[in-house]
Amino acid sequence: MRDASFILGRAGSRVLAVVLLAAATALGGCAGGGGAANSYAMASPGSGATVAFESIDGPPPQVFDRMVGVLDSESKLRSLSVVSREATAAYRVRSYLSAQVVRGKTVIAWVWDVYDANQQRALRLSGEEPTSAKGGRDPWSAADDLVLRKIAQAGFSGLSNMINGT
């Protein structure tokens, strides 16, 4: 597992990304089928709910770093307030990713468990994103920015839906 403080030390320019990563950790619920199975409304900028990412388990360092950047940009687009995992947050997200080869094609499976301020799981989001690459020795090499963005979009859509109560 790699945490936000490690990224901050390694990539000072990604301070905001770390903050956003902490927020995404609070996401959860179910979405599947290569994208958001449930398309949700975005959180409004005035909702005031904060999100912190506790962890992103599974990917190698280079994929982890790119995922942090994608989460940062997607949270900005949705006006979600992502804070450092050391900060107080309304929701905390624990994210899990795995790369696997299924019938000769690489698939990235993901789960976001979202916890409320009382440390109770409020939502679980999950899905699988097929990649354009065929299975190879390193299935993580197929986790391009488009695949990571689809995961972030599905997760943030589910989180926004929960925050907005829609």
How many domains are there within the chain?
A: 1
Q: Domain of 132: which CATH number? A: 3.30.160
Q: pLDDT confidence of 44, banded at 50, 70, 90?
A: very low
Question: Per residue in 99-155, pLDDT tens?
Answer: 999 888 999 999 999 999 999 999 999 999 999 877 678 999 999 999 999 999 999
Sheet order of strands, 105-115 included: 81-83, 50-57, 91-102, 105-115, 121-134
- CB of 17 closer than 8 Å to CB of 72: yes
Domain range for residue 73? 4-164
